[in-house]
Structure 1
């Protein structure tokens, strides 16, 4: 059984700037788009505002193209007969409307001079600005993690997964960063840091008014981290992973997966803060032990 790929949180500017593809020659093996910051993307989780839609098919057999805006630009979405549920949702949307999407990264390149990236949705849900703001915060945090590893990779004479792992980075980050550092020349990391600042300012201006300065260092730590007593976080990584797996199992009452918010609450009660929980879940997904059956739910394989 093939494990479901991690759904990456990347801003559209980073995603659309990708020019490196990893195409597998093995049957049913996944292919990837590698971004300038080293996200090795097969699947994407994005939240934004659908600004326009177009049916380029027919009423009987619709093929919907849409554009979804985030703070850095726009994603391009396409869905047709092989994504019937997503197609129906897109067809019924009245722009502008907030949506959350999990889908596959797709590259269309009819010739060497044309390269268009899009998302082919697996799941689409209408949402609100609060979920969009939370996604922006999380995507900023994860963008900063990729900036950090790319700084390390770009300083290496021969970037490698092994050397990056020695610095403490997990496989899923090290693989993409090593490939990106070799492929992309002179990645403008400052531009992506500025993107993080601008995105945070945009979210803050819509909720709490003017924000004069954004401290990037503070973004690496989850705001809930200080609420957890240090003494409570003594379990080893393996013990914590087993605790998370048990939590996901115990909360999966109907076989459809555990609600993410319930997992967060239960994990915190067991001494695992939200930031650490996300790291554990990312590692478990990367190893194929859990997956997202739908947006906001986790299930053990």
Structure 2
């Protein structure tokens, strides 16, 4: 059997109202077209589904069962098409965002809250990690887009989003805390607490020390910025962090001062696979994010829209 949706819809309409004339008016088709569709269905199933006379249409036993099945199929099709419509409008599905922990914890929560108010049926999946793993998730298609550091490539296109300034993070009552600004050379003469080499923060701090011609050998390293914050708070040394990372350091007794010579900023971009359209829900999420930027939504101190 190869019954079509048109045939099943026609039969279900006639069977429900018990009249070819009324069903044709309901479906806005000609009565002859409706009769052919029902006759074709009966021929395909090999059984009479309706008993007809000049006035009445009655269902046979096979017709009762056919109506049950036809309604299941037609309703499932209508439901599926509505789901597809919602998906194409960006009102259903999942948005997968790969990003750095600081962006996930500080920048995105209010964006997600606003987005979910508008589209409660869309789930948001945050894949936080370090720079290379974040970019890799976009390249493999696990994530729709990324918000991260890094340079554009042939496979990814970057769109600037925000920038944040590096600051010196010092223990409370540290000798450098009396200064309005701290230089990278100043930090090089203190026990420096670094994040791991696979972090974009480490790449940028190493580059800043090199630019300042200051040699800094880390007194200790840790993979997690919260661990580094705990070490600073304990008075074991100093560190340098982008402003967006500061909330992740914890609430320990430390202070921060702008870093100069050089003044270093980290740029965070929206990274997309080149020449690949975004799923509708992901596109709507980026619209919400861009609306935040267009309204110049308030950001933490030291962080600005790019």
TM-score bracket, shorter-length normalisation: under 0.3
Q: TM-score, normalised by structure 2?
A: 0.22
Higher helix share: 2
Q: Which has the higher contact order (CA 8 A, sep 6+)?
A: 2
Q: TM-score, normalised by structure 1?
A: 0.23
From the CA coordinates, give the structure whose radius of gyration is larger. Answer: 2
